[in-house]
Amino acid sequence: MEKFAVLGCGVVGSGVVELFEKNKALIEKRCGKSLEMGYILDLRDFPDRPYGNKVVKSIDTILADKDVTVVAECMGGVEPAFTFVKACLEAGKSVSTSNKELVAKKGDILLQTAKDHNVNFFFEASVGGAIPIIRPMHKCLAANTFSAVAGILNGTTNFILNKMICDSMDFETALKLAQELGYAEKDPTADVEGHDACRKICILSSLAFGKHVYPESVFTKGIREVELKDTKYCEQLGYAIKLIAQVKALDNGKILPTVMPMAVKNTNLLSQVNDVFNAVMTDTDGADRSMFYGRGAGKFPTASAVLGDMIEQVQLDGTISAQTWESADNADFIEDFAAFSACRYFRTTSADVALLTEVFGDVAERTISDDEETVCIVNVEMNAAQVDAAVKALSQKGVQVLAQYPILV
Amino acid sequence: MEKFAVLGCGVVGSGVVELFEKNKALIEKRCGKSLEMGYILDLRDFPDRPYGNKVVKSIDTILADKDVTVVAECMGGVEPAFTFVKACLEAGKSVSTSNKELVAKKGDILLQTAKDHNVNFFFEASVGGAIPIIRPMHKCLAANTFSAVAGILNGTTNFILNKMICDSMDFETALKLAQELGYAEKDPTADVEGHDACRKICILSSLAFGKHVYPESVFTKGIREVELKDTKYCEQLGYAIKLIAQVKALDNGKILPTVMPMAVKNTNLLSQVNDVFNAVMTDTDGADRSMFYGRGAGKFPTASAVLGDMIEQVQLDGTISAQTWESADNADFIEDFAAFSACRYFRTTSADVALLTEVFGDVAERTISDDEETVCIVNVEMNAAQVDAAVKALSQKGVQVLAQYPILV
């Protein structure tokens, strides 16, 4: 009889327990052996819940029980999660976590600790909630060299942008609705400013390229400045503004991870990912383009991913897979944002297409003009310096650039 | 030093060898050990290729080499593939196959043989080419009860339908183009009549529900009768006609797998899957809706999936995962097609909306009429008997039903 423990009985932790109990017979059949929920670590008591008698207050109880072979960490935050997870791994227990902050900041250390102790550190739930993405990238696409990964990795911001595009809400109204529906926190900073998506692209970048990418190395810009007007113009031109977390492999051997709102062309399936759904697109030399889509958050979707990891652990019976990445000096590995280059969407104060063409080249066919403003798509890749130069050149002609988005094809 | 062997050096087999050689350093790093291509089994010689000296003519050479731990079966067809794969498994070698016919017809036997000999029988490449779908369903979603799986599982027919919808080609012209581009065989029967998609939904059904589903138990209808006219009308109404292979779990405990052209609502991402791309959508109790998208065929995409399996095998170091399903009496397990129920698209000879409303209920808002015909969406689920009754009722009023498609929402 193997047992598992759950650290933290919040939304995800209780979801793990409830989904396990619901599908226990099926899960045990798939595991090929019987499995019991042994402990829940939480400072609170849950006297009214059926699993109330399993609650413990100290990690030591769990560490001391040799029958506990796998632990679900659903506490969130770096501490005490890091200390607890490390202790579990060192005690020979595999860990499955839904904690993206922990993986993004300490993944390299925890993967090495797991390796050193012949156990596994799993984190399928840390990116894209229910979406199978870690295992597909690590296992199914293991024969491939990755050239790019791009995703919609934050459901809250996707919901807000979707409301702007489809229901013509402005940013503040859409954010308020997201908060009312429980999609956004009271303090929405981590979502709205892109920090959450940043942690997730760090994890996917580390996995794709084998070296740890730390959050502070990633250029990150949120959606607070996205104007309703631009979502509408983009839609007319065949684009959708999405918060895109992506990483590209460059010819110089470095990688360039970014998080920022981009105008996604409607031939790219990412442009069709709506509401709170997430999606990840991978470009590789063998498999070419693949996409993974699903619920990026929520009690049972996230619990589904945590339990999937735990089931694999029980099936594996202690054998470790070679899932690991190296600690890295990001200065040598990550290209500066100045090198980021893309086609661009511009909105300016001028309706003079000839003047815009002078600065940007041929844009005439892609403009929409109203009385005061022009919107155009520049189909030549521009980096930040080139954008700055164009803004300056326009300014000298009395034209202001009001908005600018890089394009994802 | 572990070695692998490749059975069959056609498109996929040569892809496996070439992708392996291209990414060898990366693959060995991900495997955590070194790996060599040991043998290629083929009746032909390949004197001009770099791996020409690895070609052998007898399976016995491979069976006798203890260093060969994993074998890629890329021959296609049931025999001699079945005999060779079984012999490999019995000799203690794991097998990864791209052969959907083999898995759909003999999967239960080969999974049991693998289990009996402590090795693995992998088949990620047998469904959806490069798309990670077998491992995500089997591992990542292992905590879930499946309620439905629906997919575009044949690239050739998706290409043809896409050309009809987007380029207004009729079926025969689109088929000819597909043949010219190498997407369709000279004899396109297996693709066009839905047999290929049928084999794949058999595999996904077996995996999702744990019992073998045999191809002859699946209602299968191809795309030969799809008229250009209906693809156009559907598009105007917000639907795309796609060849959908799906399986649903019914309340009576049985499952109902089908392959047929369906009108997919444009809010469903499957409606946006174009060209030769494939996609699979899963509905489960924990993860809710997920989708997996990518190249469903082709040399390197399929090779990517075969190699992914082989890499996992090498990482696992002989430990078997509990991947298996039972042989089954399909009569007890699979519901009759008569029970299949869905909302419907109809095209009739009458433009009399009142008359159609009399038979179908409220359809007025969803009709497009030209001089001779009416198209309508019936938003009430109808099974085959109900469709027949409606056709008969209309016929008695002098109206012919010219086309009819079930709807996928």
Tell me, yes or no, if A186 is annotated catalytic: no
| pLDDT, mean of residues A373-383 | 92
Alpha carbons A155 and A279: distance in angstroms, whole number: 10
For chain A, positions 27-66, list CB contacts with chain B under 8 A. 27, 29-32
Instruction: Tell me the pLDDT tens digit for each residue of A261-309.
Output: 999 999 999 999 999 999 999 999 999 999 999 999 999 999 999 999 9
For chain B, positions 352-381, list CB contacts with chain A under 8 A. none
Q: Which residues pair with A293 in a beta bridge?
A: A279, B291
Of B20, B132, B269, Cβ closest to residue A141: B132
For residue B361, count other CB atoms closer than 10 A to its CB.
11
For the ranges A104-108, A385-389, B314-318, the lowest mean pLDDT is seen at: B314-318
Q: Which residue reads 């190699």 in tokens?
A: B307
Instruction: Judge contact between A218 and A203, C-beta under 8 A.
Output: no
Instruction: Judge contact between B280 and B244, C-beta under 8 A.
Output: no
Superfamily of chain region A2-129+299-328? NAD(P)-binding Rossmann-like Domain (3.40.50.720)
Contacts of B319 in chain A (CB under 8 A): 316-317, 319
Positions in chain B whose pLDDT score sits under 70? 317-323, 364-365, 371
Alpha carbons A198 and A216: distance in angstroms, whole number: 9
**Closest to B107 in 3D by CA, of B90, B85, B138:** B85
pLDDT interval class at A317 (50, 70, 90): low
Contact A286 B130 (CB under 8 A): yes
| pLDDT, mean of residues A204-223 | 96
Query: What architecture (CATH level 2) is domain A340-408?
Result: 2-Layer Sandwich (3.30)
Of A143, A300, A316, Cβ closest to residue B319: A316
Tell me what pLDDT residue A321 has.
60
**Closest to A84 in 3D by CA, of A67, A62, A65:** A62
Contact B322 A31 (CB under 8 A): yes
Contact A130/B at CB under 8 A: yes
At the top level of CATH, which class does the domain B2-128+299-328 belong to?
A: alpha beta
Instruction: Tell me the pLDDT tens digit for each residue of A42-91.
Output: 999 998 888 999 999 999 999 999 999 999 999 999 999 999 999 999 99
User: Which DSSP symbol is given to B373?
Assistant: -
Q: How many Å lie between the alpha carbon of B352 and the closest alpha carbon of chain A? A: 35
Contact B286 A139 (CB under 8 A): no
Q: How many Å lie between the alpha carbon of B180 and the closest alpha carbon of chain A? A: 22
Instruction: Tell me the pLDDT tens digit for each residue of A326-349.
Output: 888 888 899 999 999 999 999 999
The bridge status of strand A374-383 relative to strand A368-369 is: antiparallel
The residue among B371 and A315 whose pLDDT is bigger is A315
Contact A132 B132 (CB under 8 A): yes
Q: How would DSSP label each residue in A358-386?
A: HHHSS-GGG-EE-SS-EEEEEEEEEEHHH
Burial of A45 (0-12, 13-18, 19+ CB in 10 A): exposed
Tell me what pLDDT residue B366 has.
74
Alpha carbons A23 and A15: distance in angstroms, whole number: 12
Alpha carbons A80 and A72: distance in angstroms, whole number: 14
* CA–CA distances in Å: residue B64 to residues B21, B34, B92, B353: 24, 21, 11, 73
Contact A124 B130 (CB under 8 A): no
Instruction: Tell me the pLDDT tens digit for each residue of B255-296.
Output: 999 999 999 999 999 999 999 999 999 999 999 999 999 999
The helix/strand/coil state of A270 is helix
Q: Any alpha helices (H) in B181-263, and if so which ranges? A: 189-192, 195-209, 228-237
Amino acid identity of A371? D
User: A11-22 and A299-316 helices cross at what angle (nearest 10)?
Assistant: 60
**Closest to A152 in 3D by CA, of A194, A215, A100, A103:** A194
Q: Catalytic residue, from B86, B106, B200, B248: name it.
A: B200
Contact A132 B140 (CB under 8 A): yes
CATH of the domain spanning B341-408, picked from 3.30.70, 1.10.760, 2.40.50, 2.60.40: 3.30.70
ipTM of this complex prediction, to 2 decimal places: 0.94
Q: Which residues pair with A116 in a beta bridge?
A: none
Average pLDDT, chain A: 93
Q: Which residue reads 């390299």 in tokens?
A: A108
Instruction: Tell me the pLDDT tens digit for each residue of B80-120.
Output: 999 999 999 999 999 999 999 999 999 999 999 999 999 99
Contact A142 B312 (CB under 8 A): yes
Task: Give the angle A250-A254-A260 at the CA atoms, nearest 5°.
Answer: 70
Nearest-Cα residue of chain B relative to residue A303: B286
- Three-state SS for B128-172 is CCCCCCHHHHHHHCCCCCEEEEEEECCHHHHHHHHHHHHHCCCHH
Checking if the pLDDT of A355 tops 60, the result is: yes
The bridge status of strand B341-348 relative to strand B288-295 is: unpaired
Checking if the pLDDT of A370 tops 90, the result is: no
- Three-state SS for A164-175 is HHHHCCCHHHHH
* CA–CA distances in Å: residue B190 to residues B107, B128, B160, B177, B196: 20, 16, 14, 17, 5
- B202 CB-side CA count, 13 A: 30
Tell me what pLDDT residue B330 has.
81
Q: Which residues pair with A326 in a beta bridge?
A: A211
pLDDT interval class at A373 (50, 70, 90): confident
CATH 3.40.50.150 assigned to domain B135-295? The reply is: no
The helix/strand/coil state of B173 is helix
- Helix (H) / strand (E) element for B344: namely strand B341-348
The residue among A222 and B325 whose pLDDT is bigger is A222
Task: Give the angle A22-B245-A284 at the CA atoms, nearest 5°.
Answer: 85
pLDDT interval class at A147 (50, 70, 90): very high
| pLDDT, mean of residues A140-149 | 96
Q: How would DSSP label each residue in A103-159?
A: HHHHHHHHHHHHHHTT--EE-GGGSSTTS--HHIIIIITTTSPEEEEEEE--HHHHH
Q: Phi/psi of residue A186, each to 5°? A: -55, -45
For residue A314, count other CB atoms closer than 10 A to its CB.
24
Tell me what pLDDT residue B317 has.
64
Tokens representing B329 are: 């009496």
User: Which DSSP symbol is given to B206?
Assistant: H
User: Which DSSP symbol is given to A319?
Assistant: P
| pLDDT, mean of residues A358-382 | 83
Q: Which residues pair with B292 in a beta bridge?
A: A292, B280
Count the residues in chain A.
Answer: 409
Checking if the pLDDT of A408 tops 90, the result is: yes
Count the residues in chain B.
Answer: 409
Tokens representing A273 are: 């990912």
Amino acid identity of B393? A
Where do the structural domains in chain B lie, given as residue ranges?
2-128+299-328, 135-295, 341-408
